[in-house]
Chains A and B, each alone.
Chain A
Amino acid sequence: MSRLELRNVEARYGPVKVLHGVSLTVGDGELVAVLGANGAGKTTTLRAISGTVRRSGDLVFDGKALSRRTEVTARAGIAHVPEGRGTFSDLSVWENLRLGAYTRRGGIKEDAQRVFSFFPRLEARRNQQAGTLSGGEQQMLALGRAMMARPKLLLLDEPSLGLAPIVVTEIFGALERMKGEDGMSVLVVEQNANLALAHAARAYVLEVGNVVVDGTSDELRANESIRKSYLGY
């Protein structure tokens, strides 16, 4: 059964419609990528799921209709690491992690330990204000905060943006391990299509608010026009 299913989802900012009927599924424990040019509606697709943009259409999560209210989707087990990371810059690293586990009780120390084992750099900066972390560290914190929620579905918006290749490897490595340990599903938006396809089982390609191509990562890599437009070879 699929963990998340979108059927004909539309979304708008004020009067401007930006998603024109997006349909996609994410399976149990599956990592799915969303690709597309700037402005294609990738971020908006994630926001439609977490209820941070006005939307309509059918959204089914774990067999139930998904609430429009963001805090309810979070409590239902969806963690969204938004574009720009959304860390609380005034709060400490530890408080950010604690907020990640806001919807749960118990096992918080252990989970924080797990985050620190993935990202040792965060442990050294436990009491530092999150706003003073480097970009890579903030991305680690954002991911760590999402891990603390033990989500069923993780929505990730461009985790590799602006990061050194070694940090990207670190982050995707952590993602793979989390996915393995928790059986979590992941929907990831990436500009770096090669990277995304290397980790994703399947992918959807968005163009101006519509899904134009979808398939397994191998299928997409074999598709000549995808290769030309997104993979660059």
Chain B
Amino acid sequence: MLLAAFTWTEFAQQLAAGIREGAIYAGLALAIVIIYRSTRVINFAQGEMATFTTFIAWSLMNQGLSFWAAFPIVLAIAFTGGVAIERVLIRPVENAPVLTIVIITLGLALLLNGLMSMIWGGGNRQFHGPFSTRTIDVGGVPVSVQDIGIVVVSILLVVLLGFFFRFTKVGLGMRAAAVNRDSSRLAGVRVGWMLALGWGIAAVLGAVAGMMIAPVVFLDPNMMQTILLYAFAAAVLGGLDSPVGAVVGGILLGVTITLLGRYVGFIGSTLKLPAALLLILVLLLLRPGGLFGRVTVRRV
């Protein structure tokens, strides 16, 4: 194995970059898990949904809005769109086999991708993010303000969601509907709406991830495709059932592949994805449920 030259400063920098990558994966992975938990469906349109809403942000900013003025508008549009997708596309096939629904999400991904090309055209676009790309000194390590900003926004979002699920009535209703629909209905929980709400929240998570990563990678209709693969990997790594697992899995994956890509010579940037998938394969052989897969204690 060819190891690259090593300095602690550079290691810390790579670590920071990895955490920033991971924060994006974590956000998308969380979106995937929220939908998967309640419906056992992997939403393959998650990436395109995120990119689509990022394009909306881009358009709004083109109209002269600042990023932070466009931000809440985009979140509201994302939320409404997510709920609408569930009501219009998913609800009618609710009782169909999971495969049918998965194929619908694939179709939705293609549809959104086509729409984006139609409306905004292909090609890369500069997306001006809210954070400056200049670096500041954090304990002797130069870190870009943008990276810090992305991580802080992601953490805030995750904490907010955690609070919502743990301490609000609707959050409790959503968790209940995800684990036991029949009992939830008996308790008066409007299960259908809880599922739609899950899609709305997933769309919001995607929108935030999209708006955070677009300044780093340029905006184009396929922007999220590779990132979504990493997010799937992160979700599986954490355990598809576990929101906490999705976040931890995302960060771990981001850090691991960034460090591997930098320090293990032959991996470089081209073999990062296969390397990540291989690592996950090994982990799943050891822990089939993922890191945080459901460890439910049940009496029989």
Q: Answer yes or no: A180 CB below 8 A from chain B CBs.
A: no
Which residue in B179, B186, B297, B298 is a CB contact (below 8 Å) of A91? B179
Residue in chain B with minimal CB distance to A85: B183
Residue in chain B with minimal CB distance to A145: B187
- Cβ contact within 8 Å between A71 and B296: no
Which residue in A82, A89, A131, A132 is a CB contact (below 8 Å) of B186? A82
- Cβ contact within 8 Å between A149 and B297: no
What are the residues of chain A within 8 A of B134 when measuring CB–CB? none
Residue in chain B with minimal CB distance to A86: B183
Q: Is the interface of B mostly helix, strand, loop or mixed?
A: helix
Known: A90-B296, A131-B296. A52 touches B186 (CB 8 A): yes
Residue in chain B with minimal CB distance to A128: B297
Which residue in B173, B294, B296, B297 is a CB contact (below 8 Å) of A102? B173
What are the residues of chain B within 8 A of A89 when measuring CB–CB? 179, 296, 298
Q: How far apart are B181's CB and chain A's nearest CB, in angstroms? A: 10
What are the residues of chain A within 8 A of B172 when measuring CB–CB? 91, 95, 98-99, 102
Residue in chain B with minimal CB distance to A82: B186
Scan B150-193; emit 1 where CB is below 8 A from any A CB, else 0: 00000000000000000001001101100110111111111100
Scan A68-83; emit 1 where CB is below 8 A from any B CB, else 0: 0011001100011010
- Cβ contact within 8 Å between B176 and A88: yes
- Cβ contact within 8 Å between A71 and B176: no
- Cβ contact within 8 Å between B186 and A90: no
- Cβ contact within 8 Å between A88 and B179: yes
- Cβ contact within 8 Å between B179 and A74: no
- Cβ contact within 8 Å between A74 and B188: yes
CA distance A134 to B298 in the complex (A): 10
Q: Answer yes or no: A27 CB below 8 A from chain B CBs.
A: no
Q: Answer yes or no: A210 CB below 8 A from chain B CBs.
A: no
Q: How far apart are A174's CB and chain B's nearest CB, in angstroms? A: 19
User: Which chain B residues in 174-218 approach chain A with CB under 8 Å?
Assistant: 175-176, 179-180, 182-191
- Cβ contact within 8 Å between A91 and B188: no
Q: Answer yes or no: A194 CB below 8 A from chain B CBs.
A: no
- Cβ contact within 8 Å between A131 and B298: yes
User: Which chain A residues in 127-150 approach chain B with CB under 8 Å?
Assistant: 129, 131-135, 145, 149
Scan B73-107; emit 1 where CB is below 8 A from any A CB, else 0: 00000000000000000000000000000000000
Q: Answer yes or no: A100 CB below 8 A from chain B CBs.
A: yes
Residue in chain B with minimal CB distance to A142: B183
CA distance A182 to B299 in the complex (A): 33
Residue in chain B with minimal CB distance to A108: B169
What are the residues of chain A within 8 A of B190 when measuring CB–CB? 71
Residues of A in contact, count (CB < 8 Å): 29
Give the total number of A-B pairs whose CB atoms are below 8 A apart: 76
- Cβ contact within 8 Å between B188 and A131: no
What are the residues of chain A within 8 A of B186 when measuring CB–CB? 50, 52, 70, 74, 79-80, 82, 86
Q: Is the interface of A mostly helix, strand, loop or mixed?
A: mixed
User: Which chain B residues in 276-300 approach chain A with CB under 8 Å?
Assistant: 294, 296-299
Q: Answer yes or no: A103 CB below 8 A from chain B CBs.
A: yes
Q: How far apart are B174's CB and chain A's nearest CB, in angstroms? A: 11
CA distance A52 to B298 in the complex (A): 25
**Which interface residue of A86, A99, A100, A132 has the most chain B CB atoms within 10 A?**
A99
What are the residues of chain B within 8 A of A133 when measuring CB–CB? 299
- Cβ contact within 8 Å between B296 and A86: no
What are the residues of chain B within 8 A of A86 when measuring CB–CB? 180, 182-183, 186
- Cβ contact within 8 Å between A102 and B298: no
Known: A71-B190, A131-B297, A131-B298. A99 touches B176 (CB 8 A): yes
Q: How far apart are A83's CB and chain B's nearest CB, in angstroms? A: 11
Q: Answer yes or no: A185 CB below 8 A from chain B CBs.
A: no
- Cβ contact within 8 Å between A100 and B187: yes
CA distance A61 to B293 in the complex (A): 44
Residue in chain B with minimal CB distance to A100: B187
- Cβ contact within 8 Å between B189 and A91: no
**24 A-B pairs in the complex with CB atoms less than 8 angstroms apart:** A79-B186, A80-B186, A82-B182, A82-B183, A86-B186, A89-B298, A90-B179, A90-B294, A91-B172, A91-B175, A91-B179, A95-B176, A98-B172, A100-B187, A102-B169, A102-B173, A103-B188, A129-B296, A131-B297, A132-B297, A132-B298, A134-B299, A135-B299, A149-B188
Q: What residues of chain A have their CB less than 8 Å away from a CB belonging to chain B?
A: 50, 52, 70-71, 74-75, 79-80, 82, 86-91, 95, 98-100, 102-103, 129, 131-135, 145, 149
Q: What residues of chain B have their CB less than 8 Å away from a CB belonging to chain A?
A: 169, 172-173, 175-176, 179-180, 182-191, 294, 296-299
Name the 9 nearest CB pairs between A and B, nearest first.
A74-B188, A103-B188, A70-B185, A86-B183, A131-B298, A99-B187, A75-B188, A71-B185, A90-B179
